[in-house]
């Protein structure tokens, strides 16, 4: 919400107008991303993107004073949790089910069909799971 009227890309935004950014569209812009609709997590290993709200082409955690306060904790815990889950379990989909990446558009993007992944113990000692 601007404190005073301003012009952005030729559009006048009056003072006090609530402005929502379409982050869904930003993250799927073919001018910025190669094959933006393809699931390619390795693209983030090649190009290190600033996700702390300073790069307005990539805003997964918001920006400004509304940015997610849990970014530092998430950075520290992500690898540990993911490695623990991959090390401790074998994962599979339910029988006769295919992996689907379609999503639904809204204020928050979510998967059209929920992913169900079935873990099975990988480690021989059951006490390691408690």
More confident residue, 85 or 44: 85
Q: Is position 9 annotated in a ligand binding site?
A: no
- Tell me the chain's radius of gyration from C-alpha atoms: 20
Say if CB 45 and CB 52 are below 8 A apart.
Answer: no
> Is the pLDDT score of 12 beyond 90?
yes
Per-residue confidence (pLDDT) for residue 86, from 0 to 100: 92
pTM of the model: 0.50
Distance of CA 31 to CAs 25, 34, 57, Å?
A: 11, 8, 10
pLDDT one-digit tens code per residue, 42-70: 877 776 777 777 777 778 888 888 888 98
Per-residue confidence (pLDDT) for residue 17, from 0 to 100: 92
Per-residue confidence (pLDDT) for residue 26, from 0 to 100: 84
């Amino acid at each position: 919400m601007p404190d005073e009227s301003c012009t952005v890309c030729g559009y006048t935004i009056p003072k006090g107008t609530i402005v929502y950014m379409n982050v869904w569209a930003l993250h799927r812009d073919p001018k910025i991303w190669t094959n933006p609709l393809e699931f390619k997590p390795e693209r983030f290993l090649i190009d290190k993107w600033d996700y702390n709200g300073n790069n307005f082409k990539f805003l997964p955690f918001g920006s400004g004073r509304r940015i997610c306060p849990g970014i530092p904790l998430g950075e520290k815990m992500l690898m540990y949790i993911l490695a623990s889950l991959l090390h401790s379990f074998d994962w599979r989909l339910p029988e006769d089910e295919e992996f689907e990446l379609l999503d639904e558009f809204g204020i928050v993007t979510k998967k059209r069909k929920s992913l169900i992944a079935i873990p099975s113990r990988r480690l021989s000692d059951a006490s390691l799971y408690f």
